[in-house]
């Protein structure tokens, strides 16, 4: 038979079982955390009509999109989870309760140039709160709490949630008389972390900003201190522009709720340089950086927008949302050696090795362990003892249960803890309890070490 060489396309992540177990753990943690904040799961098709998906049109997106015809239909693969959400909310407007809070963890597709760490198929994990006509600031204030719990539950500790408000920036530019240049200026100052103040100033001059005003802008975004000190310093600009004043009020509300939301001060920072490149953010904007890995950039970003679905409906649907690029994050964590080996990544907690030809007792024990919630693999191959133990080692199973004639006649099982090497012989019920306790303890570990 002619054989085809098996391969997986470049830019597509496909993990070995132990890594996949860690990825699943991350996704489960995200699901649980998002649900804790009242977000409903949503699942939309990966394929949409191109005219729907590209309603906004233009730009990089359209070049990267996977687009094709099937029959007479012009189809595209989704390139993010925001456009499908907009479509969903516009389509089901009458049947949804607002504010509508949804999370979605799903694959999206972008035909980017293939390079290491860049993916063409990747998971995004998004949450959004969508209001009908209006949406209270409390929703924006809650986002840092969600980011904080998400990352701490994953095991990260050294991270900072950086927050700004687009109204603060827009209002400030307005009273400098630079409203028409606001978008350019924001794109420029967004880069200051990477390019430095001098280069940033030069770019501002290129944008057509006068030297005086460029200095004023740099002074403004350099305001330093604690969140309280920064808010205090911003008060000096109050009373000159309504948008600015509203933005400052919102920023104060977001920073003000942190203790009640359980977010420690050291994981939060008001950062006036954050603008987010996208034009549609209109209020609070968020970025999250790993303190010891600033080179990775933001691992969780988003913000407040005023019109989710303007391309589909005349209903005004403001919202706030954040997104984690999960596949890239996983890639980076693996590369940095930050995935914990403490967690059980084996497909089972127990491997049962029947040592007799009558395997009925071994099956009974398997059923008993499974009833106790223990993931149990029953080894059914006719191999030598050494090969069986080698299999146990290879899958990294925490416990092996031996079922020989002696054990069967005595009504017990022999258990080996593969980590410590310790062995014990007990009745199956008692053994199940000891095993369950041990794996529950190991199960409380975090998937990321930081």
Q: Which of 90, 186, 275, 353 binds a copy of itself (CB under 8 A)?
A: 90
Closer CB to a copy of itself, residue 143 or residue 275? Answer: 143
Residue 249 interacts with a copy of itself (CB under 8 A): yes or no = no
**Of 322, 330, 440, residue with least CA distance to 37:** 322
Q: How far is the CB of 368 from a copy of itself (least distance, A)?
A: 9
Q: Report how far residue 143's alpha carbon sits from residue 150's, in angstroms, rounded to the nearest whole number.
A: 11
Closer CB to a copy of itself, residue 51 or residue 429? Answer: 51
- Chain-centre distance for alpha carbon 28: 11
Closer CB to a copy of itself, residue 225 or residue 380? Answer: 380
Residue 115 CB contacts under 8 Å (≥ 6 apart), including other chains? none
Contact string (CB under 8 A) for a copy of itself, positions 338-377, x = contact: ---------xx--x-------xxx-xx-xx--xx-xxxxx
Residue 92 interacts with a copy of itself (CB under 8 A): yes or no = yes
Contact string (CB under 8 A) for a copy of itself, positions 128-147, x = contact: ---x--xxxxxx-xx--x--
Q: How far is the CB of 417 from a copy of itself (least distance, A)?
A: 18
* Biggest CA pair distance of the chain: 92
Under DSSP, the state recorded for 113 is P
Residue 387 interacts with a copy of itself (CB under 8 A): yes or no = no
Burial of 176 (0-12, 13-18, 19+ CB in 10 A): buried
Under DSSP, the state recorded for 346 is S
Beta bridge partners of 316: none
Residue 411 interacts with a copy of itself (CB under 8 A): yes or no = no
Q: Taking contact as CB under 8 A, which single stretch among the options 103-111, 213-221, 267-275, 278-286 is the one that binds a copy of itself?
A: 103-111
Q: Using the structure block, give the residue that is written with the tokens 């913000």.
A: 303
CB 388 within 8 A of CB 353: yes
Closer CB to a copy of itself, residue 27 or residue 233? Answer: 27
Q: Taking contact as CB under 8 A, which single stretch among the options 88-96, 153-161, 183-191, 438-446 is the one that binds a copy of itself?
A: 88-96
| CA angle, residues 317, 319, 320, in degrees to nearest 5 | 170
Q: Which of 41, 177, 196, 443 binds a copy of itself (CB under 8 A)?
A: 41
Q: Which helix (H) or strand (E) holds 203?
A: helix 197-206
Using CB under 8 A as the binding rule, the residues of this chain from 147 to 176 that contact a copy of itself are: 149
């Amino acid at each position: 038979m002619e054989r085809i060489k098996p391969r997986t396309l470049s830019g597509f992540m496909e993990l070995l079982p132990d890594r996949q177990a860690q990825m699943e753990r991350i996704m489960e943690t995200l699901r649980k955390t998002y649900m804790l904040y009242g977000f409903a799961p949503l699942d939309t098709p990966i394929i949409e009509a191109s005219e729907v998906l590209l309603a906004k049109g233009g730009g990089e997106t359209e070049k990267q999109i996977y687009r094709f015809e099937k029959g007479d239909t012009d189809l595209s693969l989704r390139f993010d989870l925001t456009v499908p959400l907009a479509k969903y909310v516009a389509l089901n407007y009458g049947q949804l309760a607002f504010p509508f809070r949804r999370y979605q963890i799903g694959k999206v597709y972008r035909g980017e140039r293939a390079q290491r760490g860049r993916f063409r198929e990747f998971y995004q994990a998004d949450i959004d709160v969508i209001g009908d006509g209006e949406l209270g600031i409390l929703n924006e204030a809650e986002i840092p709490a969600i980011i904080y719990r998400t990352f701490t539950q994953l095991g990260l500790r050294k991270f900072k949630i950086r927050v700004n408000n687009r109204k603060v920036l827009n209002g400030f530019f307005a009273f400098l008389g630079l409203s028409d240049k606001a978008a350019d200026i924001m794109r420029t100052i967004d880069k200051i972390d990477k390019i430095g103040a001098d280069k940033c100033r030069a770019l501002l001059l290129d944008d057509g900003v006068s030297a005086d005003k460029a200095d004023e802008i740099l002074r403004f975004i350099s305001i330093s201190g604690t969140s309280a000190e920064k808010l205090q310093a911003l008060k000096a600009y109050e009373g000159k522009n309504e948008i600015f004043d509203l933005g400052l009020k919102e920023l104060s509300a977001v920073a003000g709720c942190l203790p009640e939301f359980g977010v420690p001060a050291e994981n939060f920072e008001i950062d006036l340089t954050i603008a987010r490149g996208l034009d549609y953010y209109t209020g609070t904007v968020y970025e999250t950086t790993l303190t010891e890995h600033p080179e990775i950039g933001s691992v969780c970003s988003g913000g407040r927008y005023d019109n989710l679905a303007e391309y589909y409906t005349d209903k005004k649907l403001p919202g706030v949302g954040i997104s984690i690029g999960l596949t890239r994050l996983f890639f980076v964590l693996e590369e940095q050696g930050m995935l914990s080996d403490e967690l059980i990544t084996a497909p089972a907690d127990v491997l049962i090795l029947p040592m007799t030809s009558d395997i009925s007792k071994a099956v009974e024990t398997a059923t008993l362990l499974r009833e106790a919630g223990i993931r149990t693999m029953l080894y059914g191959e006719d191999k030598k003892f050494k090969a069986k133990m080698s299999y146990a080692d290879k899958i990294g199973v925490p416990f092996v249960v031996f079922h020989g004639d002696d054990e069967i006649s005595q009504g017990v099982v022999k258990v080996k803890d593969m980590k410590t090497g310790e062995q014990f012989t007990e009745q199956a019920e008692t053994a199940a309890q000891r095993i369950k306790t041990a794996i529950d303890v190991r199960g409380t570990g975090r998937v990321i070490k930081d």
